[in-house]
Structure formats: C-alpha cells, structure tokens
Amino acid sequence: MTLRTPLFAAHHDAGARFTDFAGWEMPLSYSGVAEEHAAVRERCGCFDVSHMGEIEVRGPRALEVLQRLTVNDVSKLRVGDAQYTILCNDDGGVIDDLIVLRRGPERYLLIVNAANTPADFAWIAARAGERVEVVDRSLEFVLIALQGPEAEVVLRTLTPIDLAALRPFAFLEGPVAGLDTVVSRTGYTGEDGFELLASAADGPALWTAILQAVRRRGGLPAGLGARDTLRLEAGLPLCGTDMDTSTTPLEAGLGWVVKLGKGEFVGRKRMALQAAGDLRRRLVGIQLDEPGIPRHGYPVWREGAAIGSVTSGMKSATLGQFIGLAYVATGSDAPDTPIAVEIRGRRVPARVVPRPFYRRIRREG
C-alpha cells in the first residue's frame, strides 16, 4: 500500500513531481531540483518530511533505556534539548540515525528515518521490554523543514516564539500561524533552519502559511531531490546509502557522537576496539579532478590497489565540482590523498577532501 502524507493534496495542487520513497508517495521536485537547491542556499525553502517516523519513549526508566540503546549521552539532555544520535546493533552496525527530543522529565520523542520506522520501533520495543512505554506516533504528526539563510526571518512573521534565543539542537513549543507546534532548530541541508512538528490535522494549514511566507521572501517549496543534493554538499551521510548495519558510526566519520565513557550501550564493544586503533576504513569526502559522477558502488583506487568504494556522488550545484562520499582504507583517508574513482572502466583522478564540502556563511541580523 502506498502511503501519503497529510500534505499530499497541497503538493499535487502545486504541480509536484512525485516519487516513491520507502513506500511513501513524496514530492521529488516542483519547479526543478537545481532551482529548489539554489533557493535554499540563497534564500529559503520548505520541505514536507512527514514521512519520517516519530516514536515516543516515556516512563520513569526512559532515560535508562535510551542510554542503553543509543550511542550518544542522553543524560546530557535538559527538557527542551534535542540530540543527534545513532541506534546500533550488537556488532556496532548502524541501524538508524535519529534525533531525540526531551519533551518532559520522563518523556522523549525520537525522530527516525521513514524507511526504518517499523524496524526501529520493533528494535526499541523489544529491548525496552516492560521498563517503559514505547509508542509509534508517526501518523499523528506532520513534520515540515524550513531551511535557508532567511529561514528565521520567514518564521518570525508566523510566531511569537523567541527564535533568536533558540539554540541549535534545541526546541520550543508554541503557536506557528496560530497552530500548536514544536519548533526545533535542526535540519539536513547545511543551512540554518527549523523543523516544525504539528498534528496531522493542522498540517495543511501550517504548510500553506509557511509556504506563503517562504514565497514572500523569494523562496520555494522543495522536494526530496533537493534535500539529497543539499545534504551531500553538507557532507551528511544518508542512512541506508552511506551507512548501514555493515558500518559503524566511527567508520562513517561520526565518532564525535559516540560517547564511550557513558557506560555500556549496544554495540559499544566493537566501537571501543575501533577507537583504540582497530579502525580499518573511514567514510571520506572525495572530489574528482576531471568531470564524472561518482556513483554508489564505484570502486576507489590508490596506486593501483582497490581501497574502497563510493557511496554517494553528484556534481555540486553550489560549488561546480564533482563530489562524493566513499569508504576508503585508513591510511588513505587524509585530506589531499590522491586517489582514483573507476567510472565505466576508466580511473578518474580524484583526491580526498574535508567534509563538509559546503559550509554556510553565517549572516548577522
């Protein structure tokens, strides 16, 4: 059965081109991926990301359960804080990456990837047992991402919430366009921005109000196509493409989120060994010296030896460069290391470069 978000009719009326994503019929683009990408980089754009899952974990032992199941230190969260973290299996492989919002002393909301929602829910519920209540609330909400250098300016016109005081990876609850909304300063584009969580019933009215405000600033609605190109420029891995159960967070370049000192958690043993010197590959940024698209699965070479493979790649609209992410053997992961990407039988010269590829310009006012 194909799923649709509560905003499907609005996307259809706006002339969206749709694509299937994890069983959801989602907007791929409206005016075109390149135009939407540029709007977010230069002004602002809004995305329907209501296909993502929301799992609530609540009860007196909620912190204990989440500390055990995720790699980051949930004990650091105050009410109103959000945290990027990862669910791993017993071998340290990535099940999913997610954001945890602490909505109360014993109440947490997990924002998970659409493709993984049922599996994440089953994994968490099975390991939580009777210690906490675990509820899949995904169909109760809409989630709208408002991203871009003018995102705050746009949102100020719709809410009395003090957005200037809202830190990155924090959230406030209040009215947006007169509708009860959870406003978090998070995103997946490399730009400043917000994600707005509201009831499914309020979704269409909230989307309409945000889109009108975005258009007043010269922004656009944006689909999954631009979401993917923006996140790749920002050097952000995509779960299922750039990391999965065969890769650990340390291999994916996300060691900063793994808190080995917090105590035992699922997958810690393998990650501790890797942190102690047993890391054999790492996800790196690559940039081609000649034209070519480094696509998923293409081999990466160095000095005649295969050292890894590409996971994502494209021509960057913002930078004008051919870029990608690839796993390479440690020892070949330092910036400026010369490598080659095999594209249709030809080894195209390239080099390892730092992530992110694109870093936003912070603007005042």
List pLDDT tens digits, range 12-33: 999 999 999 999 999 999 999 9
Q: Quick one: which of 265, 238, 261 has its CA closest to 87?
A: 265
- List, for residues 113-135, the tens digit of each pLDDT value: 999 999 999 999 999 999 999 99
Q: CB–CB of 41/318 below 8 Å? A: yes
Q: Which residues contact 256 (CB under 8 A, 6 or more apart)?
A: none
Same CATH topology for 8-50+139-233 and 280-365? Answer: no
Tell me the pLDDT tens digit for each residue of 225-276: 999 999 999 999 999 999 999 999 999 999 999 999 999 999 999 999 999 9
User: In the chain, what are the helix, strand and coil shares in percent, each to the nearest 5?
Assistant: 25, 35, 40
How far apart CA 164 and CA 120 sit, in angstroms, is 34
Predicted confidence at residue 363, as pLDDT, reads 53
Given a contact cutoff of 8 angstroms between Cβ atoms, the answer to whether 194 and 151 are in contact is yes
Could you tell me which CATH class the domain 280-365 is placed in?
A: mainly beta
Report residue 207 CA to chain centroid gap: 20
Q: For 276-298, what is each residue's pLDDT tens digit?
A: 999 999 999 999 999 999 999 99
Task: Give 307-358 pLDDT, tens digit per residue.
Answer: 999 999 999 999 999 999 999 999 999 999 999 999 999 999 999 999 999 9
What's the whole-model pTM score? 0.96
Stretch 154-163: mean pLDDT: 98
CA dist., res. 325 & res. 170, Å (int): 29
Question: Tens of pLDDT along 240-251?
Answer: 999 999 999 999
pLDDT confidence of residue 365: 42
Q: What is the pLDDT of residue 362?
A: 66
The domains of the chain are located at: 8-50+139-233, 280-365
CATH topology of domain 8-50+139-233: Gyrase A; domain 2 (3.30.1360)
* Tens digits of residue pLDDT in 70-88: 999 999 999 999 999 999 9
